């Protein structure tokens, strides 16, 4: 009887190594999905804590122009100043519900001379994809704005813009364009402004409270890792039966398996196959 000696050959050692590698990759992907879920849950916590809270003064939320923590994302702030309409910027490539468009950044100069960047909302593309058809004008004079805080964005390699357009909301770049002391820790997604104009860009909507399918994906990857070892065990068992087919004990076990298979009632699929294979009567 050969027994299990074949399982300790170089060939099966290679199969084991491949199985471990596959399982490790699956486990890594499952862990990555759990990390993605943790990020989504953290975003939900920020929305629940901040989105509908009472606005606080900008100076209280951001004591310095570079101050901002991620826990403040979506936090409403109230700030009063005058829009620098001549320095308004259009952010390119900003889709909304799969529709292409732009966002409007209007600098708000405060009484102390510093500037806070207000994202006044979204606009669809116009007759050409290069610019919106029109930009609703910001109010003149002193205006009080309620806006939700959000961190600035990094620059993207290979993306640039000319004129009054900008590729990303990189607040340091915006400060360089304005040549004025500007808040670079965060900008504000406008909720409201007083006095309110007759028309304004589309306001940001409350983010959906959805953690996504990451947990189920993680479970699937971990199951795949486990099934890899189950499959390896099944393959070893099948080869054991093959290489030991002449052993009397294995023969007896094979006959017992055949007997149980014959005694088992046919499945619906087997009955359907028999009907399909049966000769048809003329």
Tell me the residue ranges of DSSP E strands in the chain: 56-57, 76-83, 89-91, 101-109, 115-124, 142-151, 165-166, 186-194
Quote the pLDDT of residue 267: 66
Q: What is the pLDDT of residue 6?
A: 78
Omega before 195 within 30 of 0, i.e. cis? yes
Q: 30 and 157 share a domain?
A: no
Q: What's the N-to-C CA distance of the chain in angstroms?
A: 54
Average pLDDT over residues 186-204: 93
Q: What is the pLDDT of residue 70?
A: 94
Same domain, yes or no: 59 and 29: no
**How many secondary structure helices (H) and strands (E) does the chain include?**
6, 8
Lowest-pLDDT range, 80-84, 152-156, 203-207, 273-277? 273-277
Sign of CA dihedral 194, 200, 206, 207: negative
* 186 part of a folded domain: yes
Checking if the pLDDT of 257 tops 70, the result is: no
Angle formed at CA 118 by CA 38 and CA 135, multiple of 5 degrees: 115
Asked whether residue 67 falls in the same domain as residue 146, the answer is: yes
pLDDT of residue 266: 66
Is the pLDDT assigned to residue 2 strictly greater than 60? yes
CA-CA distance, 147 to 76, in Å (whole number)?
A: 5
Q: Is 62 contained in some domain?
A: yes
- Structural domain for 21, as ranges: 1-51+221-262
pTM comes to 0.75
| Spatial separation of the C-alpha atoms in residues 210 and 131, rounded to whole Å | 32
Q: Are residues 73 and 34 in the same domain?
A: no
């Amino acid at each position: 009887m050969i027994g299990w000696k074949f399982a300790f050959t170089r060939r099966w050692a290679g199969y084991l190594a491949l199985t471990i590698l596959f399982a490790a990759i699956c486990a890594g992907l499952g862990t990555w999905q759990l990390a993605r879920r943790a990020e989504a849950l953290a975003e939900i916590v920020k929305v629940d804590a901040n989105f509908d809270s009472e606005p606080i003064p900008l100076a209280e939320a951001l004591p310095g122009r570079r101050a901002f923590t991620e826990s403040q994302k979506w936090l409403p702030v109230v700030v009063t100043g005058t829009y620098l309409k001549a320095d308004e910027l259009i952010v390119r490539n900003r889709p909304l519900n799969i529709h292409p468009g732009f966002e409007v950044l209007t600098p708000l100069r405060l009484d102390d001379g510093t500037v806070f960047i207000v994202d006044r909302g979204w606009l669809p593309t116009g007759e050409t994809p290069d610019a919106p058809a029109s930009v609703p004008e910001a109010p003149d004079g002193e205006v009080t704005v309620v806006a939700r805080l959000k961190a600035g964005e990094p620059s993207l390699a290979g993306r640039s813009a000319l004129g009054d357009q900008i590729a990303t909301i990189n607040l340091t770049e915006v400060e360089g364009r304005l040549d004025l002391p500007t808040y670079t820790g965060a900008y504000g997604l406008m909720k409201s402004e007083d006095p309110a104009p007759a028309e304004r860009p589309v306001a940001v909507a409350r983010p959906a409270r959805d953690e996504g399918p990451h947990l189920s994906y993680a479970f699937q990857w971990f199951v795949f890792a486990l099934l890899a070892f189950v499959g390896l065990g099944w393959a070893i068992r099948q080869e054991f039966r093959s290489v030991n087919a002449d052993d009397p004990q294995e023969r007896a076990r094979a006959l017992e398996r055949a007997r149980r298979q014959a005694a088992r009632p046919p499945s619906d699929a087997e009955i359907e196959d028999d009907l399909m294979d049966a000769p048809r009567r003329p």
